[in-house]
Every structure is written in C-alpha cells, then in structure tokens.
Amino acid sequence: MNIYLPHLASRKPPVLTVDIEENFANLPSLTPIRGQVTVSHRGSFLEIKGHAQTITSLTCHRCLGQYNHRLEADIDEIVWLKAVDKAMEDELEDLDEHLAEDGTLEVHDLVYQHLSLNLPFQNICAPSCAGILPAQTDVLEASNLSDSLDQRWEALKKLKQD
Ligand SMILES: [Zn+2]
C-alpha cells in the first residue's frame, strides 16, 4: 500500500486508486478496515481523496463495558512535494507535512491517521449510560470483612439490625 511517487508521476493520467480491505495491527477492529483512496499527482502537490470505515470495539469510560463503534473517515488532503535537494536541507519537522518528490506515500499510514483522529474523545456506550452503580453487596461484604478490624462498622451493623 505504498505509492512510489515517481511511478505515480509517470502514469497517464498520474492518478492511482487504492482499495483497502484489511486489518490494521495498530487499530483493533471487529471488521476489516474498508475504504478507497485516490491519489492524484498534480506536479507540486498530491491531491488525496478517499473514505475509510470500520467497526471498532471501545471500552466505555463510564461503565467500563465494551461496545461497538462505527468509525469513519473522509479523506481530503493536499500534500506538498519538495524537490529532492530541498527536502534534504530542511528541518525534520517540516517533512511531516511535505513529501520528497522521489518519496513514498504510505497509504496505510494515511488512512490510519485519519481514522485515529476520528476516534471519540470520550468513550460513552450510550447517552443513557449510568456508569458503575455503587453495589450494595460490596458494602455488606466490606463490613463483614472489617468487623473484627474496624469498630466503626459496628455502627453500620447496628443500623442494619434496627
Ligand atoms: Zn457505559
């Protein structure tokens, strides 16, 4: 899923469409990641358009239960290309937003980044999720365990008896 840019530039027309249907090791999902990405070489930049989707399994931040989440990403991005010698001179940080003319576009990585950005900030299984309810039994068990250790539980025990 890597596109070597000089190859793309030499195509007539210089456009390549990549179909994706696979599992990404770094993005656990219930279904393969499906999508399509079209990369057009426009001389000084790449025009990248596409779409990807999958079903991920997330852990609810409120109740800690697992739930399925439909994850989608629309890709519409411009990546500027740099002349080979110029890319060599520039700072490393610049290379994130630019690609060298003779570089390689990693489609897998691009799709992964777009999907990751669309992961929810807060994982909530449902708007009505009540979270973890304080379980009454836990309190009772704790009181039994602590009977001999902590006299304060005596008061609680007395209340229950009353
Ligand atoms: Zn929940």
Give the DSSP letter of residue 22: E
**Domain of residue 102, residue span:** 2-131
pLDDT tens digit string along 97-130? 688 899 999 999 999 999 999 999 999 999 999 8
Structurally, the chain folds into a number of domains equal to 2
**Full-model pTM:** 0.71
| CA 129 to ligand 1 centroid distance, Å | 5
Shared domain check, 144 and 121: no
Shared domain check, 97 and 61: yes
Shared domain check, 47 and 98: yes
Q: Residue 85: what are its φ and ψ, rounded to 5°? A: -70, -35
Shared domain check, 154 and 127: no
Residue 6 amino acid letter: P
Residue 138 amino acid letter: D
Shared domain check, 94 and 77: yes
Shared domain check, 112 and 37: yes
* Calpha distance 14→11 (Å, rounded): 4
| CA 37 to ligand 1 centroid distance, Å | 34
Residue 43 amino acid letter: G
* pLDDT of 135 above 90: no
